[in-house]
Amino acid sequence: MRRYIAKRIVYLVLTLFIITTATFFLMKNLPGTPFDEEKLALLTQEQRDQIYASYGLDKPVIVQYVNYIGNIVQGDLGTSIYYTGQDVKDIIVDRIYPSALVGLQAILLGTVIGLILGVLAAYRHNSGWDYAAMIVSVLGVSIPNFVLAALLQYYIGLKWGILPVAFWESYDSSVLPSIALSVGVIAIIARFVRTEMLEVLQQDYIVTAKAKGLGQMAILSRHAVRNSLIPVITILGPIVVNLLTGSLVIENIFGIPGIGSLFVDSIKTNDYATIMGVTIFYSAFYVVVMLLVDILYSLVDPRIRLGSGRE
Amino acid sequence: MANHTDSLDHLFVPVRQESGEQERISRPALSAFQDSWRRLRQNKAAVISLILLGIMIVLAIVGPWLTKYSYAQTNYSAVYQNPSADHWFGTDKFGRDQWARIWQGTRISLLIAVLAAALDLVVGVAYGAISALKGGKVDNVMQRIIEILIGVPSLIIIILLMMIMKANIFTIMVAMSITGWVGMARLVRAQILKLKQQEFVLAARTLGTSNTQIILKHLIPNTIGMIVINTMFTIPSAIFTEAFLSFIGLGLQSPQASLGVLIHDGFQTLSSHFYLLLFPALVIVIIMVAFNILGDGLRDALDPRMRK
Amino acid sequence: MKKKGSLSLLALMLVFSVVLAACGNNNENASGSSSPSASAGASGSAAPSGKPINLYVENEIKNLSQWAASDDISFTVLNNVSEGLYRLDADNNPQPALAQDVAISDDKLTYTFTLRDGIQWSNGTPITSADFKYAWLGEMNPTTATNGYSFILTDYIVGGAEYAAGTGTADQVAIEAKDDKTLVVTLKQPTPFFLRLTSLVPYFPLNEAFVKSQGDQYGLAADKLIYAGPYVLQSFDIAAGAVLKKNPTYWDNSNVKTDTINLKVIKEQSTALNAYKAGQIDRVTLASSDVDANKSNPEFGTGIKFRTTYLQFNTKAEGLSNVNIRKALSLAFDSNILAATILNNGSSGASGLIPDLMSGDGTKTFRELNGKVIEANIEKAKELWAQGVQELGSAPKLTLLIADTSEVKDVATFLQSEFKNNLGIDVAIDTKTSKARNELMDNNNYQMAVTAWGADYDDAMTYMDLWTNHTPYRGNYESSEYDTLIANAKKETDDAKRTDMLLQAEKLLVDTDAVVAPIYFGGYSFLQKSNVTGLIYHPYGNPVEFKSAVAQ
């Protein structure tokens, strides 16, 4: 196992490197400039060249790339052009916290409720509970989360005044966005758990356990749920990454200064350093989470041996 | 009494049986397909869903013709009209008939959903299955490739695509297909990793079944449940991804519309003209519920262990 | 044991999030960046303080270094934490601010400003004329200023353009800090609106010692700036907003009635409206679809901006090189329908390039003098279209290029439908990101595009000289007649003659040569709490003045 992890970490660095390189060159091909083109058009070519030079944008792309990699290795992510002069590292650190908190809460809430719903639905297959869970699941994915967010904001925030309408002011500000985001998670997890559980409940060892006299709860917790977790873990991986790295729409609706909107804005304004910084952060996060997920597989199901390919 | 039976004995002659017939099962044999179809028909909810979906599809095809207005026709003296006898679903900010637009949009959304699901199935399942089966180095490389694909921000790729390609359905599919299949690939891989170690695969291998046969006859049928469910989820995801793409310019331009675009537009007037959001949302929800119940029914019907 | 694997993971996540939440609470309490705190002591101010006012901006506060700032939001903040020689009042007229008065030479070329007594920066340093010279030179220098606003100085000040191009030295720029209180500027040509220009952010002073001491950290945080305006920044976060506090060292302190202004960042229209209804902000701009529902609300109001959205034709593109085709398109849509039905927010259909209330000759507005230079005329449009098609040989296939903001998309849909209904042609819409659209236009890769220009100052020249640079972005328009008109107008000392030249130029650009087809003049609708008064919104230049705002 340890050798496997070590190998994976090597691959991790390699993957990150490839992602960084690919993104860098793709990004340089984005149409437009990092500046305000309308104002720039009023300057002479020499003046424009000087502005470019002051940001190091006049050098050939390869040179810029090498410089950039050199800087990263030393921990310097560069400065933003759009948020003029701000250190990219500082910007990212500032904006991660809101997204992370909201995302984490959404995942926890979504996973727990999703698990419960899914187990219930499978256990009481084709009963009222089953249909209810399925309806919740379907609605959870079919209704776009921005509609849900807007409804939550309007009713719970404005009309009934229970929670803040928007902005990032106290812990309460994170509740509504988390709920809005969690619904999709609940839907997906409930679905997958139900499907897996239905299969698992058919298995021989469940029948055996029942025959041996094991109680319902024990069967469920010791055997059924654990064996249903594989798809949950698989699905959780990308979900975790998506949610923790910010949902642009939810952030905009609740006025949360998170990292999702930072990313989209930086792409739309050609803010090269920020694009790269956030990409590296996202990708690093993603590959680490994927590694954790794969390790989790083998923990949860001892039959899955990672790294072995005896065929 | 002895006389009675004795006299009738000669009337009974043993039926002549062929040697194999003694083994025959009396229930009529059905092919897998016929069996599944029969079981599906027994599932009332699934049947209703199938009918509902059928209605939706029919409406999508025929709907725009049922009204005299075209989906692109603007009428600036009739903007934001509530649903009425003239405009069954009301009009939007440009005075366009919503009934026509919604069914026109459903056509496009369904098309996109089908294409996305097909892509998922073909590419995602194959990739995940191969990755899991081969294991070892191949699995490693294939998974890293996925990570790289996801790592590079797709928004950048999409904007670059926008500059090169014309905005139409084909381009949408290309944009969505960049990373659309990855979820399915990972799920299938996980499932197969689990199945790979189970006894029946070992048994099949011992019997000398080829790898392809193992995949097709054993592994994939047991993954069908997961595949079906995931496809259920890719449909709304595809519809909303398309809406996002249309918004940044890659995809449907005015006056075209899809359900996603209609919902996005309707959202802007959530507090003032709720019907603009309500109807497209209802259509999507109905389609989704129907797909889901049908999907469940399909999975139940295809799973040989659920045979009653 | 293995089964605990997943459960312990869940438990771990739970603990993690609780820890995060706890940390978060501490963070917020420590920085105090978003909670309006009761004002303790605005020393030296005898005037009663009004309640805090809560406002918002629609995007992040990108930068507060005036050499880098070029967007409305940065200007909104900078205009209220700093100040220039003059400041526009509620009637949009320049009033002495940091300057006490000005003496203008007879040839109207030399301005001698006398600064007020006792003006100081928020850190106690006196504000001197050297501060103005330093800031202005910096703005003209492309190695220090990256916002592209140097033109607003170099177009007018002698030696400025040469200095900016690197062919002249700083000493040759005609800005003289005669003594601490006297600033002498010499202009290249008479500029009747020069005093208005000095109210703009690029003309604000900067303290050289302070700026240099901050190095590249200047303007990145509230404590990395010093302030000369009615407010100081207590804190600011790019994405969350800013908190402004009354500036105790401001010269006109006694007239600033509000202690605290909270500026939030709200990107989503519906969120802003909800926040307004919840009482969290005191003013909100309404979306088109919400206007009708709120018209009868006593808190409702409308305003205009000197901003014209227009259709830019590429006069060298295939199909549009024919002037009749361009004219036909210009006359084929009724912008009044657009303004009334779709925009419905106070915008009005454009009857020319220059917005309605922009000044003309001092008594009449420009628009009143020139009348309707463009007006929908479907019959004429059809005729001209037929003529153009005949001249070209076949009907051109047209594509309309736009950026992906929702207002512009609506405009494009409207134009598309009008062209279809009135001319019977199918115009395709091509939506791109703003950057992509700019690049396509810069590279001469478009037929027609919807774009807009907002006035920097109250004079038609702010629009008219844009079309003298012959760039693809401006439609590749090359007319010696137009160029001459503008060049002469810039040199003309007689106001009446100058105005006349500008009037002619507009007719030439819009009507005769149909280089642009103006669509609408910008307007907006808003709701504002009735207890908040004194907020001054300008239709051009600096967006808003907080100085006299008060909430009872």
Summarize pLDDT for C509-530 with one digit per residue, the tens: 999 999 999 999 999 999 999 9
Q: Which of B254, B268, B271, B272 would you mutate first to test chain C, the one with the most C CBs within 10 A?
A: B254
How, if at all, do strands C260-265 and C53-57 pair? Answer: parallel
Scanning every residue of chain A, which has its alpha carbon at the shortest distance from the alpha carbon of C265? Answer: A255
Q: What is the pLDDT at residue B303?
A: 65
Using a CB–CB cutoff of 8 Å, tell me whether B162 touches chain C.
yes
> Which of C13, C17, C439 is opposite residue A32, by nearest beta carbon?
C439
Task: Considering only residues B2 and B19, tell me which one the structure prediction assigns the higher pLDDT.
Answer: B19
| Lookup: tokens for C469 | 């640079």
Contact B254 C409 (CB under 8 A): yes
pLDDT of residue C8: 45
User: Rounded to whole angstroms, what are the CA distances from A279 to A21, A274, A276?
Assistant: 11, 8, 5
Question: Does C321 contact chain A (CB < 8 Å)?
Answer: no
Q: How distant is the Cα of C295 from the closest Cα of chain A, in angstroms?
A: 21
pLDDT digits (tens, 9 = 90+) for B144-191: 898 888 888 888 888 888 778 877 778 888 888 887 888 889 888 888
Q: Is the pTM of this model over 0.80?
A: yes
Higher-scoring residue by pLDDT: A222, C222: C222
Predicted pLDDT at A234: 81
Q: What angle do CA C4, C8, C14 make, to 5 degrees?
A: 155
Cross-chain CB nearest to B159 (options C337, C429, C436): C436
Average pLDDT of every residue of chain B: 81
Specify the pLDDT at position B99: 93
Closest alpha carbon to C228 in C146, C138, C115, C148: C115
In whole angstroms, what is the distance from residue B202 CA to residue B208 CA?
10
What is the four-CA torsion angle of C150, C153, C154, C157, rounded to 10 degrees?
Answer: -160
> Which pLDDT belongs to residue C42?
38
Give the residues across from B197 on adjacent strands: none
Q: Is the pLDDT of residue C226 over 90?
A: yes
Sign of CA dihedral C403, C406, C410, C411: negative
Q: pLDDT of B268-292, one tens digit each?
A: 888 888 899 999 988 988 888 888 7
Of C78, C80, C49, which is closest to residue C66 (Cα–Cα)?
A: C78
C187 pLDDT higher than 70: yes
pLDDT at residue A148 greater than cutoff 50: yes
Average pLDDT over residues C385-394: 93
Per-residue pLDDT, averaged over C278-304, amounts to: 92
- A311 close contact with B: CB closer than 8 A: yes
List chains touching B (3+ CB pairs under 8 A): A, C
Residues 6+ apart with CB under 8 A from C426: C419, C420
Asked if C197 and C149 count as a contact pair (C-beta separation under 8 A), the reply is no
**b/e code B108-118 from CB counts within 10 Å (16+ = b):** bbbebbebbbe
Report the distance separating Cα A168 and Cα A98, nearest Å: 8
Helical (H) or strand (E) element with A62: helix A61-73
Which letter does DSSP use for residue A255 in this model? T
Of the candidates C399, C160, C23, the one whose C-alpha atom is nearest the C-alpha of residue B253 is C399
Query: Which residues on chain B are in Cβ contact (under 8 Å) with C408?
Result: none
Task: Tell me, rounded to whole angstroms, the distance of Cα A149 from its chain centroid.
Answer: 18
Which one, of C196, C204, C230, lies nearest residue C94 by Cα? C196
The partner residue sitting opposite A171, judged by closest CB among C25, C219, C438, is C25
CA dist B284 and C531 (Å) reads: 45
> Whose structure tokens read 């991986």?
A237
**What is the separation of C-alpha B114 from the centre of its chain, rounded to a whole number of angstroms?**
7
Average pLDDT over residues C193-199: 92
Q: How far apart are CA C406 and CA B143, in angstroms?
A: 39
Radius of gyration of chain B, Cα coordinates, nearest whole angstrom: 27
Taking the C-alpha atoms of residue B46 and residue B40, their distance in angstroms, rounded to an integer, is 7
Q: Please give, one letter per residue, the 3-state secondary structure of B227-261.
A: HHHHHHHHHHHHHHHHHHHHHCCCCCCCCCCCHHH
3-state secondary structure at position B88: coil
Q: Closest partner residue to A26 among B157, B198, B285, by Cβ?
A: B157
Radius of gyration of the CA atoms of chain C, in A = 26
End-to-end CA distance of chain A: give it in Å, rounded: 20
* Residue showing tokens 């701009």: C285
**Which A residues, 169 through 188, put their C-beta within 8 Å of a C-beta on chain B?**
188
Assess B122–C contact: CB distance below 8 Å, yes or no.
no
Mean pLDDT across the stretch A147-163? Answer: 86
Q: A54 is written with which tokens?
A: 């002051």
pLDDT at C164 over 60: yes
Asked if residues C53 and A144 have their Cβ atoms less than 8 Å apart, the reply is no
- pLDDT tens readout for residues A61-107: 899 999 999 998 888 888 888 888 888 999 999 888 889 899 989 99
Assigned token pair, C12? 């771990």
Q: DSSP alpha helices (H): ranges in C302-399?
A: 323-331, 335-337, 366-370, 378-392
In terms of Cβ atoms closer than 10 Å to its own Cβ (0-12, 13-18, 19+), residue C380 is middle
Radius of gyration of the CA atoms of chain A, in A: 24
> Mean of the pLDDT values across residues C336-350?
93
Decide if C217 touches A, using CB distance below 8 A: yes
Three-state DSSP class for C348? Answer: strand
Quick check: A36 and C70 CB within 8 A?
A: yes
User: pLDDT band at residue C473, thresholds of 50, 70 and 90?
Assistant: very high
CB within 8 Å of A56: residues ≥ 6 apart? A64, A67
DSSP-assigned beta bridge partners for residue C518: C310
**Interface membership of C93 toward B (CB under 8 Å):** no
Q: Is 70 exceeded by the pLDDT of residue A308?
A: no
C551: part of which helix (H) or strand (E)? strand C550-551
pLDDT at A309 over 50: no
Token couple for A133: 């869970």
In chain A, whose CA is at the least distance from the CA of B183? Answer: A235
- Cα angle A52, A55, A56 (rounded to 5 degrees) comes to 85
> Which residues lie closer than 8 Å to C497 by C-beta, 6 or more apart?
none
Dist CA C492 CA B58 (whole Å):
71
Q: With an 8 Å Cβ cutoff, are B144 and A11 in contact?
A: yes
Query: Picking from A51-60, A102-111, A275-284, C401-410, which range would have the lowest pLDDT averaged per residue?
Result: A51-60
Q: Does any CB of chain A come closer than 8 Å to the CB of residue C439?
A: yes
Contact C275/B at CB under 8 A: no
pLDDT band at B196 (very low <50, low <70, confident <90, very high): confident
| Cβ contact, residue pair C413, B273, below 8 Å | no
How many Å from the N-terminal Cα to the C-terminal Cα in chain C?
Answer: 66
User: Residue C287: its chain B contacts at CB < 8 A?
Assistant: 268
CA distance A200 to A229: 11
Tell me the residues of chain A between 76 and 105 that have a Cβ less than 8 Å away from chain C.
Answer: 79, 82-86, 91, 94-95, 97, 100-101, 104-105
